[in-house]
């Protein structure tokens, strides 16, 4: 399987021919930052288009079909429109917190996005506490959401922010326990090592029933963390207008919109990395010819294929089930998912110790 580490090593060697170590690192950091931001923006546009087409498919509609071939440029047109929209100042809002909220949300999303292993050798941040880093940094987005609701000085935004905070904090427990179940199996939090250990068999199969239960819980909890139906109570249009970002306009609203779609991708990418082997190909022990053929498929294609499969599953759920009530939503987490996740991690620990 081709590794991107050869390309990154060639780039590093080339820069060191003309620059000293300090300037080389600075240029590399800038290039990595630009690449991450560009991928972040492009993926958001792709996801917006994909969701509109998937939604149309489930509702027997056509979806975007005017701007560009098959409506493929509709997301670009919407991006240009939202950049040109007027920024409306809210008279009674807390200006500093109002503007800080959107940056906190987008920073948390970008920092999490930058730690994902996209392909073999294509990994910007590879900490030995990678899972812990993902859980910690992604949690910062909750602060931005609460600030957005508080600083707007509106009852709708405040209610939406409180709902969102309660929902995100609650479901993050189950998501964290599910990921820790795989950490128990892998014996490490480092994402690259977790992917490497799935070279022969993905963890969802290697971990047997506890891993499958953990995957199911993570998908449900992750879907709830993205505030998408049937868990979209923080943005319930019939009750709260647009929830915590009701008072934001133009590019300010665009930041929240961007982070929401990329959080959908991030949740799916973490599931693909931790449970489905990340960029590792599908391998069957004993089927050597089949395994060799699978290994010829590029690693980035495996990663994005698995991730978009999880994204499609999330969209399928969103457009298939009605919105839950707030009591049903919290009961699902505290009375069903979290107890099962706790029992499941104990079962995984027992299985690892015995076998």
Q: What sign has the CA pseudo-torsion 330, 134, 308, 74? A: positive
Confirm if 244 and 151 have CB atoms less than 8 A apart. Answer: no
Measured torsion, CA atoms of residues 55, 57, 62, 67, in degrees rounded to the nearest 10: 50
**pLDDT tens by residue, 221-253:** 998 888 777 887 766 666 666 677 777 778 888
CA distance 89 to 80: 21
Q: In the chain, what are the domain boundaries? A: 5-354
Class of residue 306 by CB neighbours under 10 A (exposed 0-12, middle 13-18, buried 19+) = buried
DSSP assignment of 12-75 equals HHHHHHHS-HHHHHHHHHHHHHHHHHHHHHHHHHHHHHHHHHHHHHHTT---S-SSSGGGTTHH
**pTM (predicted TM-score):** 0.91
CA distance 86 to 96: 19
Closest by Cα among 178, 214, 179, 208 to 354: 208
What pLDDT shows up at residue 22? 86
CA distance 185 to 127: 18
What pLDDT shows up at residue 41? 87
User: Where would I find the beta strands (DSSP E) of 289-348?
Assistant: none
What pLDDT shows up at residue 236? 65
DSSP assignment of 111-131 equals HHHTTS--BTTB-S---TTHH
What pLDDT shows up at residue 212? 94
What pLDDT shows up at residue 152? 80
SS3 content of the chain, % helix, strand, coil (to 5): 75, 0, 25
| pLDDT mean values, one per 10 residues, the chain (355 residues) | 80 86 88 90 90 89 86 88 80 80 88 90 86 90 84 80 83 92 92 90 90 94 84 68 75 84 92 92 85 88 94 88 83 92 94 87
Task: Count CA atoms closer than 13 A to 142's CA, side-chain side.
Answer: 17
What pLDDT shows up at residue 219? 92
What pLDDT shows up at residue 323? 81
Measured torsion, CA atoms of residues 228, 233, 237, 238, in degrees rounded to the nearest 10: 140
Measured torsion, CA atoms of residues 262, 114, 266, 246, in degrees rounded to the nearest 10: -30
What pLDDT shows up at residue 238? 64
What pLDDT shows up at residue 184? 94
Q: Which residues contact 78 (CB under 8 A, 6 or more apart)?
A: 48
Residues forming a β-bridge with 119 = 122
CA distance 56 to 63: 5
Confirm if 308 and 47 have CB atoms less than 8 A apart. Answer: no
């Amino acid at each position: 399987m081709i590794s991107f580490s050869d390309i990154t090593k060639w780039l590093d060697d080339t820069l060191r021919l003309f620059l000293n170590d300090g300037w080389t690192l600075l240029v590399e950091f800038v290039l990595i930052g630009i690449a991450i931001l560009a991928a972040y923006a492009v993926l958001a546009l792709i996801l917006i288009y994909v969701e509109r087409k998937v939604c149309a498919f489930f509702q027997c509609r056509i979806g975007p079909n005017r701007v560009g071939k098959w409506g493929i440029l509709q997301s670009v047109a919407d991006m240009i429109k939202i950049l040109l929209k007027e920024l409306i100042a809210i008279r009674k809002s807390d200006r500093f917190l109002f503007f800080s909220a959107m940056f906190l949300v987008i920073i948390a999303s970008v920092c999490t996005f930058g730690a994902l292993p996209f392909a073999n050798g294509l990994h910007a941040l590879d900490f030995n506490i990678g899972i812990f880093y993902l859980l910690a940094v992604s949690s910062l987005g909750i602060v931005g959401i609460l600030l957005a609701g508080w600083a707007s000085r509106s009852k709708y935004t405040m209610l939406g922010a409180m709902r969102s905070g309660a929902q995100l904090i609650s479901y993050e427990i189950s998501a964290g326990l599910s990921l820790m179940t795989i950490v128990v199996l892998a014996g490490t939090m480092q994402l690259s090592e977790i992917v490497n250990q799935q070279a022969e068999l993905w963890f969802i199969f290697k971990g047997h029933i506890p891993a499958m239960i953990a995957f199911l819980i993570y998908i449900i909890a992750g879907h709830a963390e993205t505030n998408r139906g049937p868990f979209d109570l923080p943005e319930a249009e019939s009750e709260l207008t647009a929830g915590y970002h009701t008072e934001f306009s133009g590019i300010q609203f665009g930041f929240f919109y961007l982070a929401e779609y990329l959080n959908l991708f991030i949740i799916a990418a973490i599931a693909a990395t931790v449970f489905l082997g990340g960029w590792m190909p599908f391998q069957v022990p004993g089927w050597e010819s089949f395994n060799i053929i699978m290994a010829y498929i590029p690693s980035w294609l495996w990663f994005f294929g698995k991730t978009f499969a999880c994204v499609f599953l999330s969209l399928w759920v969103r457009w298939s089930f009605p919105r839950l009530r707030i009591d049903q939503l919290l009961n699902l987490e505290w009375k069903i998912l979290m107890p099962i996740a706790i029992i499941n991690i104990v079962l995984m620990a027992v299985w690892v110790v015995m076998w």
